[in-house]
Structure formats: structure tokens, C-alpha cells
Structure 1
């Protein structure tokens, strides 16, 4: 039966549905030792989450088969503590993360506004939440968990994965794993990503809308979960003479020390490099310089046409796939010291340049600025720079997070 949002009432957001699940004796014969065979299962706001699933074209029966499998339940019940790690469903479509009961209350409390936000902004960076549940095995403890979309779902290899908050304090320990993927944190992050200026503007605007929603809901401590797949490296593509004789204005925000030149403009840059060398010759060669310059003009026009065609194709590809889903970018690797200090793009020393596909979204959106976080903020402010600690009020967290995002996603002047 299809649900309609018109049927939703305030009661639907607070509703719960409980089931007692018991596997048959015949089914139990095929389960490994220690499997959970009897448990109580509770769904929070099932009608609302059904509508969110429908927004993403997720069949509820397939969802339940994936999440309620004995393998998934066994793994969820074996987790040491809430938030200790994140699981993937067997089909890789969903992430499963354990919660505290207080975090469940936060999610259910903001669910009406969250649902409206998803409806209003189809390109939201907020991770889609498809269900909040609690499971209690016979003789075991209750385990609360939330099911969300798998941001890294792809047939492509994620060469690097990061969980980024824009804060360094307390971000060095407890690296996470998502199955075989090691999730690095802020101190290990050493990239800048260059996007089409229009796409960057739209991305930052969407991040602004998302952060305003989280701020209004009193949420902080969220992260940008980001993975990148390297399509091609430009390291070693050009010799040092071409690199250092190139005008810096043709490399976006990289200076003349950068070893990175984008592949698409190699013919243009090589021609200009040759012209620069001719200008240092004697005055008797000026005639040949002018002839060389006139020969260049058709090549420059061809390059501009190719750049325009590439830009239109790039925009179309990324608009169709949506923000954070296989987004093409030019990645520049920098030193971690510059990354930590927040150096401007005009003074970065690049250590490598790559064409990449990016997969990212905002996760962990269930922590409010409650009493425990206020105490943590007060304590850590005595020992660290209060602007760099993770536990800050939602307004300060939103502002810092947006500033951080604008620093790691730069405008690619080559596409302008």
C-alpha cells in the first residue's frame, strides 16, 4: 500500500511498531553457532521512514530483508558500545550505526523538519536516514541503531576515505574502519579539490542550507564523510622546464613552485612557454616571434572550444548524478602542515595532481549540544584553543564547518 504524506500526522512521527521475530527450527539448522534466533524488534516512526525510502526509490520489503537478516542482527548485537563502529548491510546499500537512547530521541525529535528538508532540497548533503530501530535478543541487551545510505556505494575503488570535522583536537586516535576501508581523519587530510566555479557555488550554497538546518535543530559534531577514486595522475607528465616557465594565472590558485599542471591545457602552456623563451632572444628575432604568435592563435581558439565543450559535459555529468555522488574534480595533494594551518590556495605547494571522482556527504547528525557536550567544551577550552575543539555550540560549529568546506573545495579557474 502506497503511503501519502498527506496521511502523516504528528502521531506518525512519534509512533513505534514492535515485532517478535523467531526463526523456524528448520532455518536455525543452517545458521552458524551463536546466531541470534529470537529477538524483539522495534521500529521508530515507520510510516515516516517509509516515505523517505520512497523518495530514494527503496523498496521497503528489500530494506527489511537486508536489515533484519540474522547476519546483520548478530553483528549489530555484538558491537561493544554505541557509535563504536559502522557496519555495512550485506548488499552494501546501507550503513548501520549503533546509537545511545538519547541520540534516538534527537533523531525522532528533528524528524519532521528533517523530512521537510529532504523534500525541499533534493541535492542535500545530509546522509539519508532510512530507519531507526532497537533490537533485543533473548537474554541480551537492547541495541539502538540507525540505518542510512552508504555514501561509498560504488563499483569503483575508494583510494582514500576521510571523516572530516574541520577540527584537529582529539582527531588523531580511534581510526574507523568500514569493512575493508580505513577511514582517516583531519590530521591525515592533505588534499584540495578544484571544481567548476558554478558547481562550487551551488555546493557551498547547499552546504549552507544543510548547516542552517542542523544549527536550528541544535545539532553539532557532524562530519563530512569523503571518499575519492583516482582516475588519472598528472605526476611526471611534464618536465621541470615547462612547469616553472608557466604563468601562474593558468593554474587556478597554484603558484609557480607547483609541480602540477592540468593535462587539458598542456598544448596551450607549452606554446606559451616556448614564446617566453623566444622573447629572451636578440632583437633581430622579433619578426619570427610575431610570426610564431600569429600561428598560435588558431591553436588557442581550438583550446578554448575544447575547454567550453569539456565544461558543458562536466556540468551535465555532475548535475545528473547529484552532489557527492561520483563528482568529478581535480585533486591537488599538499603538505599536511599547510592543510592544518589553513594556508590559502595561492601559496600551496602541491605534491601531486590527480583527476578524481568524489563521494561525500554529511554524517553523524544525531548529537545535540546537551549537558555533556557543554561540560566537554568548558573542560577542553581550558587546555586547547576553543575554536579548534570539536565540542562547540551549534552556531559556532556550523560556521567553522562551512569555512572548512570552502577551504577544501576551491574554484577551478581552468574551467571558468
Structure 2
């Protein structure tokens, strides 16, 4: 966790996500949750929209990692996600705008979408300049990744991620600009006899598909399905109009 969140940005919220629901809550009242609280699947109330090419890179990497872990009979791993909410008071090292909050009550949607597209494009161009200069890129998969966090209508509604997909769920209209840090952690647990016993015992108390201790193949599929619902491809028409083709494939 310390290595993943080693950043100049302050991590405001952190989530440990497995794609399961049984016992997957921090069990803390809202007023006691702070930046040091590790939240879990049932506490998640965001869907993350990331730029299309980075979304494709994420899906490909998650698939490769899960295939490897499944082949090694590993399960019970998590995706650790850290969120930095952008605000007006902190310096911007990536050329992106400050924190934005949209209520959907005004008519500025098109202008706002245009501005967001410009900011993502600006960050991409800055990254390209650094790469050409032989420097480390500012934005990488799982580090310094700009995104839009769309707040879900109801907190702790795990079903919105697992039945029908987050893309079909209702939002409360709030959109926050964030910087994401994430990576797969806890990759040393194999599906041994203790985990098989845990699965059998918890299956008597809850839906077997909702518990964390399941066989590696089922775990891998459930994990990938869950990640594919909380991360969504964000299309940016402005990028296509500046440097892409007519169908927006570079957006």
C-alpha cells in the first residue's frame, strides 16, 4: 500500500476491492471515515471514467495479470485504489484543471465536456514531450492517472456494479476530477485446504458467489468482471477534433 501510494499527491480515499460483497465493508459511520480508512467493495460509491486508450491498456493488463494468477492457483487478491480529489488550492503538476463538481442543473454540459477534453489532451501532449526528451512520463498505468469519478446515487449499493453493470445504474449527478493510483496487491494466497474449508463454511451463511474465498478460476472471472464495471471508457470528442480521425478512434 505504501509503495502504490508513494506520491506527491495526497490520497483522500483508498479502496481495497475484490469484487465480492460478503463482509466487504469498513463498518464505520460516515463521520469516522478519513484518509487513513481502507474502504471496501460495499463502501464504493464511484464509477471511474478514464481516457479510452488508457482504459484499453487497463483491461489488457488486468486480463494478463489475472490469467497468470489463475494459472498459479492464486486467489484472494485485491485491487488497491487511491483517489486524489483535485481542488483549487493545490499546484498542478500535470497540466490538468482543478477539481470540478457538476450538478447537472445548468446548461454548461457541452462547454464543460470541451474543457475536459482539452485538459486530457494537454496532459497527453505534456507526457509526449517528456518521453521525447528521455524523461519518465508523468501519467502511467496505475499512477498519476487523471479520471472522472462519477458518484453513484446510493452508497453501498453493490448490486449496481454486479447486476446490469454500472453503466446502467443511476447517478446523483456529481462528477469529480481525480487522480488515480491503483495496483493488484495480496498475491501470495493460494487456494489451499484452509481456503476450501473457509469457502464451505461461509457458503452455509451466505450466497457462495458473494464470498471472497472461491476457487481461482471463479475468483479471476468475478474480479475482472467487477473491475470492468467500475472503470469505464471515457470518450473525448475534443481529442478527435484536434488530432484524431472522423470516427473518434483516437479520443
TM-score tier, shorter chain, comes to 0.7 to 0.9
Give the corresponding residue for 2:148. Answer: 330
Residue-pair matches, total: 212
**Deviation, structure 1 residue 223:** 0.5
Larger radius of gyration: 1
Give runs of aligned pairs for residues 4-403 of structure 1, distance below 5 A.
95=2, 150-172=3-25, 181-231=36-86, 232-235=98-101, 240-242=105-107, 263-265=112-114, 306=118, 309-310=121-122, 312-313=124-125, 316=128, 320=137, 321-334=139-152, 335-342=154-161, 343-403=165-225
Please list every run of 5 or more consecutive structure 2 residues that lacks an aligned counterpart in the other structure: 29-34, 87-97, 238-250
User: Hey, what's the Cα distance between the residues in 2 that align with 1:239 and 1:379?
Assistant: 47
**Deviation, structure 1 residue 396:** 0.5
CA 1:315–1:212: 2 relative to 1, 3 Å: farther
List per-residue Cα deviations over 1:226-269 (Å, max 9, x = no partner).
Answer: 10101143325x772427xx6xxx7xxxxxxxxxxx83436xxx
TM-score (norm 2): 0.73
User: Hey, what's the Cα distance between the residues in 2 that align with 1:351 and 1:207?
Assistant: 29
CA 1:380–1:362: 2 relative to 1, 3 Å: same
The structure in which a higher percent of residues are helix is: 1
User: Hey, what's the Cα distance between the residues in 2 that align with 1:229 and 1:337?
Assistant: 20
Whether the 8 Å contact between 1:191 and 1:333 is mirrored in structure 2 is yes
Higher mean Cα deviation, 316-325 or 183-192? Answer: 316-325
Report SS of the residue matched to 1:369: coil
Whether the 8 Å contact between 1:314 and 1:328 is mirrored in structure 2 is no
TM-score (norm 1): 0.46
Whether the 8 Å contact between 2:160 and 2:166 is mirrored in structure 1 is no
Report SS of the residue matched to 1:387: helix
CA 1:182–1:308: 2 relative to 1, 3 Å: closer
**Deviation, structure 1 residue 314:** 7.6
Please list every run of 5 or more consecutive structure 1 residues that lacks an aligned counterpart in the other structure: 1-85, 87-94, 96-149, 251-261, 267-302
Report SS of the residue matched to 2:179: strand
Whether the 8 Å contact between 1:234 and 1:352 is mirrored in structure 2 is no
User: Hey, what's the Cα distance between the residues in 2 that align with 1:307 and 1:377?
Assistant: 47
Give the corresponding residue for 1:406. Answer: 228
Report SS of the residue matched to 2:183: strand
Whether the 8 Å contact between 2:76 and 2:189 is mirrored in structure 1 is yes
